[in-house]
Amino acid sequence: MFIMSKVFVNLIDYTSLDELDSMEVMIPHDLAGYRLDQALVALFPDYSRSRLQQWIKNGDVKLNGQVAQPKGKVWTDDKVSMLIPEEVDPEVIIAQPIPLHIVFEDEDLIVINKPAGLVVHPGNGNWTNTLQNGLLFYNDQLKMVPRCGIVHRLDKDTNGLMVVAKNLSTHQDLVRQLQARTVKRHYWACVQGMLTMPGQVDAAISRHPTQRIKMAVVATGKEALTYYNILERLPCHTLVECHLATGRTHQIRVHMQFIGHPLAGDPVYGGKPARFDDNSMQALQSLHRQALQAFRLGLIHPRTKEYCEWSIPLAADLVALVEALRQCRYE
């Protein structure tokens, strides 16, 4: 039985696959000299030793900022950071023949162009017809990889590029790259109003204090940084390219709303748009989603260690929106 004299634990709410549940602990004197997995069993009795060991093996545990070694020992005041994957029992995930638009595939990874309207992975009240169900049907060996290889997420109504790991070593490498911010994710967005120059939004994000289904800029939230460049100025809107330095839930949508330029068509963060001419209003109403696409994805290939990048053209519904908004005028 362990007697812990001083333990600091920081629990952070689940937000996205990019920023999994995290815990941070300072090793107490009582556990100095123990193996890392032994110490974690004492500190987190709700998790089995085998599960904790698997998280260490997957690279989800860091010791003093470095990826922890399975047999490493810990000492007083060592800092352990642990990412807790949101786990769904593989037995409840049904393989379903969902069409997948595969942009690239090799023995290690798959790059997919996710359509708008497709949920990424199963969750409460939404156990079927997700990307994860489709991946399991496409390749049943993906059941051996956490979340069938999904390492990051796009909102249901955001289309664009995602990378999927086909094996554990690739999954571990991609998770580390996301943590190190070496995965390059560029988004096309159409925002309300006229932006005059490029810039950045450096504002922490957390759950909205009163509307729990929404995110918001909150002083005590997690660091969030978005860069944006202007692609085209339209009469009533601006087309921008956003580059994520962090990966918070709804980050671009929240940040652009924060600076007064919410995404066109955003049903959650868009607010009440200005009154445009009928053709423009019809185009916005026909979109049925936020005007956001993950159009470019870059990463270091886990096996070759070479930088790889993929890009896709603008989706047809977004092209139609831009064509209509180029003729937009206030009423």
Q: Is 30 among the catalytic positions?
A: no
Please provide the average confidence, as pLDDT, over all residues in the chain: 85
Q: Residue ranges of the domains in the chain?
A: 9-84, 90-172, 184-325
- The whole-number pLDDT of residue 6 equals 30
pLDDT for 8 beyond 90: no
With pLDDT > 70 as the criterion, what percentage of the chain qualifies?
A: 86
Choose the catalytic residue: 78, 155, 157, 266: 155
Residues 6+ apart with CB under 8 A from 312: 103, 113, 160, 161, 293, 295, 296
Instruction: Please state, in angstroms and rounded to a whole number, the distance separating the CA atoms of residues 126 and 164.
Output: 20
pLDDT for 216 beyond 60: yes
Lowest mean pLDDT among 8-22, 103-117, 216-230: 8-22
CA 109 to chain centre: 17
Q: Find out whether 19 and 81 touch, Cβ atoms under 8 Å.
A: no
- DSSP letter (8 states) at residue 232: E
Name 184's bridge partners: 298
Instruction: Please state, in angstroms and rounded to a whole number, the distance separating the CA atoms of residues 250 and 121.
Output: 16
pLDDT for 303 beyond 90: yes
Q: Kindly report the length of the chain.
A: 331
- The whole-number pLDDT of residue 50 equals 78
pLDDT for 186 beyond 90: yes
Element (H, E) at 170: helix 168-180
Long-range contacts of 99-102 (CB under 8 A, 24+ apart): 99/134, 100/131, 100/134, 100/135, 100/138
- Are 9-84 and 184-325 the same fold in CATH? no
Instruction: Classify domain 9-84 by CATH number.
Output: 3.10.290.10
- For residue 160 the two structure tokens come to 């664009």
Looking at domain 184-325, does it have CATH number 3.40.50.300? no
pLDDT digits (tens, 9 = 90+) for 25-83: 889 888 899 999 888 888 876 567 777 888 888 788 889 988 888 778 999 999 988 87
- DSSP letter (8 states) at residue 28: P
Mean pLDDT of 314-318: 96
Name 188's bridge partners: 241, 293
Element (H, E) at 161: strand 159-165
- The whole-number pLDDT of residue 89 equals 54
* pLDDT band, very low/low/confident/very high, at 11 (cuts 50, 70, 90): very low
- For residue 19 the two structure tokens come to 């920023």
pLDDT digits (tens, 9 = 90+) for 248-301: 989 999 999 999 999 999 999 987 766 666 777 788 888 889 999 999 999 999
pLDDT for 203 beyond 90: yes
Residue type, 303: R
Instruction: Classify domain 90-172 by CATH number.
Output: 3.30.2350.10
Instruction: Please state, in angstroms and rounded to a whole number, the distance separating the CA atoms of residues 122 and 130.
Output: 6
- The whole-number pLDDT of residue 91 equals 57
pLDDT for 330 beyond 70: no
CA 234 to chain centre: 29
- The whole-number pLDDT of residue 305 equals 96
Residues 6+ apart with CB under 8 A from 83: 20, 21, 22, 55, 60, 61, 175, 179
187: closest CA among 289, 297, 59? Answer: 297
Instruction: Please state, in angstroms and rounded to a whole number, the distance separating the CA atoms of residues 80 and 78.
Output: 6
